[in-house]
């Protein structure tokens, strides 16, 4: 039975897809990661989200738990992903209370705008520590549980009667494609995160674990998009997307369900850009002095008509 239409996950997925599965998520109180977890819980999973702000994490966990009667969603606060002791303790509490860990979303991240000339060593290191080192600490803490899950839910892709297990998603950024002004710290951190995922896919693929990346683009109703306070800036952001709309948290959730579900059985070491093609605009943003998307749309000017007949 497919799920009814919801604002946070596609109706294409089936109810109970992730029944009896457990997801552990860092950065789980953020808009994107909480959306990912919300979709998984709705489709049958139980979850544990962790973060530094105890009150916020507990409130978000309680809200997520309302999407499916009987679900269990733990919110563990005071967890800084840079602190291995706190992460290990949260992982063990999750496994003890929920019975194991089948899926991991490494989503804790830090970001701010700063040119290299303005970027201090401490500021640069803070983002590296949160995004990259925090992802490393999270994976090291959860790997024993993921290995047990991968063994328990071993499958050949032909038949998965008990579902899937032993899967990792890193939430990265399309910054890995090219440099971005005022984002040296983020570009460096996310490049490292992507490399970490790729190595995991090689080292642990033979043991049944898959490791993949989701790279969100401009997603509406997130902190980054809320900074576009004026209608003009918002419209400019939309024009920069080939699909001519902002992404939805639902778009990220659907990619997550795809990778964790039976649909992702043979996807390993991949990066899915959920950005509507935005990062590609850099190569074709201007043509004949016309900004994107006008540069690729038909023009009514005589010169345009004559050139189109050549």
Which residues does the annotation mark as catalytic? Answer: 172, 190
Q: What angle do CA 180, 186, 187 make, to 5 degrees?
A: 55
The phi and psi torsions of 158 (rounded to 5 degrees) equal -90, -35
Read off the DSSP letter of residue 285: S
Cβ-Cβ contacts under 8 Å for 176 (sequence gap 6 or more): 187, 190, 191, 194, 215, 271
Q: How far apart, in Å, are the Cα atoms of 73 and each of 10, 14, 54, 64, 166? A: 21, 20, 14, 7, 19
- What lies within 8 Å, CB to CB, of 104 at 6+ separation is 23, 24, 25, 138, 139, 142, 146, 167, 168, 169
**H or E stretch covering 90:** helix 84-98
């Amino acid at each position: 039975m497919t799920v009814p239409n919801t604002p946070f996950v596609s109706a294409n997925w089936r109810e109970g897809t992730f029944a009896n599965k457990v997801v552990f998520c860092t950065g789980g109180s953020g808009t994107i990661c909480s959306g990912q977890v919300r979709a998984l819980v709705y489709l049958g999973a139980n979850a544990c989200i962790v973060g530094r702000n105890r009150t916020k994490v507990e409130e978000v966990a309680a809200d997520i738990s309302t999407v499916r009667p009987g679900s269990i969603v733990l919110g563990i606060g005071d967890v800084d992903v840079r602190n291995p002791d706190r992460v290990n303790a949260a992982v063990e509490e999750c496994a003890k209370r929920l019975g194991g860990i089948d899926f991991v979303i490494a989503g804790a991240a830090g970001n701010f705008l700063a040119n290299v000339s303005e970027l201090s060593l401490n500021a640069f290191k803070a983002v590296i520590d949160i995004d990259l080192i925090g992802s490393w600490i999270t994976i090291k803490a959860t790997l024993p549980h993921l290995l047990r899950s991968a063994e328990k839910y071993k499958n050949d892709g032909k038949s998965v009667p008990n579902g899937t297990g032993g899967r990792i998603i890193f939430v990265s950024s399309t910054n890995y494609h090219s440099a971005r002004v005022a984002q040296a710290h983020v570009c460096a951190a996310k490049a490292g995160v992507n490399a970490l995922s790729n190595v995991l896919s090689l080292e642990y693929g033979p043991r049944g674990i898959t490791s993949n990346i989701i790279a969100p683009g401009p997603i509406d109703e997130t902190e980054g998009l809320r900074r576009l306070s004026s209608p003009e800036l918002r419209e400019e952001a939309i024009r920069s997307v080939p699909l001519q709309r902002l992404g939805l948290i639902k778009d990220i959730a659907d990619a997550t369900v795809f990778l964790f579900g039976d649909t992702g059985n043979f996807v390993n070491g991949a990066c899915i850009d959920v950005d509507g093609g935005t990062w590609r605009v850099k190569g074709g943003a201007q043509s004949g002095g016309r900004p994107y998307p006008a540069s690729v749309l038909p023009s009514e000017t005589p010169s345009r008509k004559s050139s189109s007949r050549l």
